[in-house]
Amino acid sequence: MGLFLSQHLCFAASKTFCITLLALGGVALLATTAQAEPRPPSELQRATDEPATILGEWQTGNTRLRPFTCTADSIYLSGDTTAEMWDTHGKQLWQTKLATPSHFRPRLSNGVMVVAGRKSLAALDARTGKTLWNYTAGDDAQLSVPLIAAGKVVVGLDSWLKAFDAQTGEELWEFEIVLPRLIAYPPIAYQDKWILLGPGDGNLYAIDINDGSLVWKNNTGKNTWQYLRQLYIAQDSRGQDILVAGGYKDDLYGIKIDNGEVKWRFYGGNFINSHMVSDNETYFWSPTGWIYSLNVRNGYMRWRHLTDDHRASSGLKEWGHFMAELIADDKVVYALDMRDTLHILDRTNGDELKSYDLPFNARFFVCTTGDNKTVFVGSQEGQIVKVGVDF
């Protein structure tokens, strides 16, 4: 269906209601939708800081850890020296030395763990840590954050996207983007059928996952994004799949998957470093001092929580800045700030349920096993720290 116009006319006089004019396939509908106004910061609950309960501290073979990948009972990690697997009770299950440092979070699929840095990539047997195969970038070349899906490892090498068999490392296909620009951020797989990629040439590509041929490409023009960072698939208000993508700078986009058309755009006012999508909701921090949650179906704000309050009048404590990507469990969002405070927010309304001071310098990530009782954080010294949470 080609034509879908959606225009929101909000009247200053009535603050809650917007008249939404929908012209759908030529048929005009008049509907009234309420885009809830965010509650003012003073109405959002704040927790009092309390010391965190440390349930375990285990040294890894690294001094600089990358974000972990956690499952219900295991932690997969990498850093400057090794890749490792641990159980959630502090037992190291294996450790494998890396040829070059890892710069990205390890990815896992079907028993294969991909550990990558800008210089090289290793595919490991996730049960044993045994190296299945390696790939090294040439002298001045640089690898992107990798993707593992549908039995393939897909990774950018400068302006080439390359696919390898996840088990054997056999090179299956390569795809060159239009201009000689860097692919830095990971592609995403759509229904194990396409690869979607928004590299540094300003295009969005859909590529056949099996043979690397181009399915469609959308040049968004100068006024949209330079490249897309994290990509997530969710569903729009009509139950259709939608790509939720972060622009390089201040914008988040909802993009139609069948042709790359932008459905909605949210302007955040400063860099959005990373956003996370869970159950058709997206969460991110903006250096303008807010944690936002949007409904990815239409880009509407669900709530926002003030993190950086310079108005003495409000009496709210200032939080640190955020580098760590926000993480969600079924009920809450975990937000670890750069002052080593772990904030736990209610997913439904942004209320802060708990605020834990971590007694160590943390790296910028959190990971959860989904039990609502523990989270894992990395220390600046390369330890895994198990933190108890209770909300």
Partner 1 sequence: METLHTFSTAKHWGFAALAGTIAIGMAITASSVMAQDGEELDQHVQAVFDTAINANVPISYERIATLMRTDNAFGEGAACVVCHNSAKAYNGLDLSSCDGILKGGVNGTFVTPGKGKGGTMRRSLRDNRMPLGISPSYPSSTKNHLIVLDWIDNGIKNDANFKKNVLPLFSTAGAFGGETKCTDCHMSNEEPPSFHELDLSSWAGIVEKGADSIARAAEGLPPVMVVYAGKPEKSKLWLRISENRMPLGIASDADRDPYNLHILMNWVDQGAKCK
Candidate segments 26-34, 82-90, 119-127, 268-276, binder of partner 1 by CB under 8 A: 268-276
Rank residues 43 and 50 by Cβ distance to partner 1 and give the closer one: 43
321 part of the interface to ligand HEC, by CB under 6 A = yes
> From CA 292, how far away is CA 229, in angstroms rounded?
17
Q: Which is nearer to partner 1, 129 or 200 (CB)?
A: 200
Q: What angle do CA 167, 172, 177 make, to 5 degrees?
A: 125
Q: Which residue is nearest to ligand HEC (CB)?
A: 321
Distance CA 196, CA 213 (A): 12
Tokens of 197: 């990629």
Q: Determine the residue type at 324.
A: A
With CB under 8 A, what is the number of residues at the site for partner 1?
68
Binding to partner 1, residues 105-134 (CB under 8 A): 105, 118
User: How many CA atoms lie less than 13 Å away from 131 in the CB half-sphere?
Assistant: 14
Contact letters (x/-) for partner 1, 281-320, by CB under 8 A?
A: -----xxxxx-------xxxx--x-x-x-xx-x-------
Going by C-alpha positions, the residue among 141, 143, 211 that lies closest to residue 183 is 143
Distance separating alpha carbons of residues 81 and 229, to the nearest angstrom? 26
**Judged by CB under 8 A, does residue 217 bind partner 1?**
no
Toward partner 1, which CB reaches closer, 13 or 91? 13
For residue 131, give the DSSP letter: E
Determine the interface stretch with partner 1 among 161-169, 178-186, 343-351, 381-389 (rule: CB under 8 A).
178-186
168 binds, among partner 1, ligand HEC, none (CB under 5 to 8 A by kind): none
Select the span of 34-42, 121-129, 233-241, 276-284 touching partner 1 (CB under 8 A).
34-42
Residue 75's DSSP bridge partners are: 70, 86
**Binding partner at 301 among ligand HEC, partner 1, none, C-beta below 5 to 8 Å by kind:** partner 1
Q: Which stretch binds partner 1 (CB under 8 A): 48-56, 82-90, 121-129, 257-265?
A: 257-265
Q: Which of residues 267-296 bind ligand HEC (CB under 6 A)?
A: 270-271, 287
CA–CA separation, 143 and 115 (whole Å): 12
Helix/strand/coil (H/E/C) assignment for every residue in 28-97: EEEEEEECCCCCCHHHCCCCCEEECEEEEEEECCCCCECCCEECCCEEEEEECCEEEEEECCCCEEEEEE
- Contact of 212 with 163, CB cutoff 8 Å: yes
Q: Strand 352-357 and strand 49-51: pairing? A: parallel
Residues 22, 32 contacting (CB under 8 angstroms): no
Question: In the set 100, 274, 349, 372, which binds partner 1 (CB under 8 A)?
Answer: 274
Residue 380 binding ligand HEC, by CB under 6 A = no
User: What are the residues binding partner 1 (CB under 8 A)?
Assistant: 4-8, 10, 12, 15, 37-38, 40-42, 66-67, 103-105, 118, 142, 145, 181-182, 184, 200-202, 222, 226-227, 229, 248-249, 262-271, 273-274, 286-290, 298-301, 304, 306, 308, 310-311, 313, 321, 323-325, 338-339, 364-365
Interface residues with ligand HEC (CB under 6 A) are: 270-271, 287, 321, 338
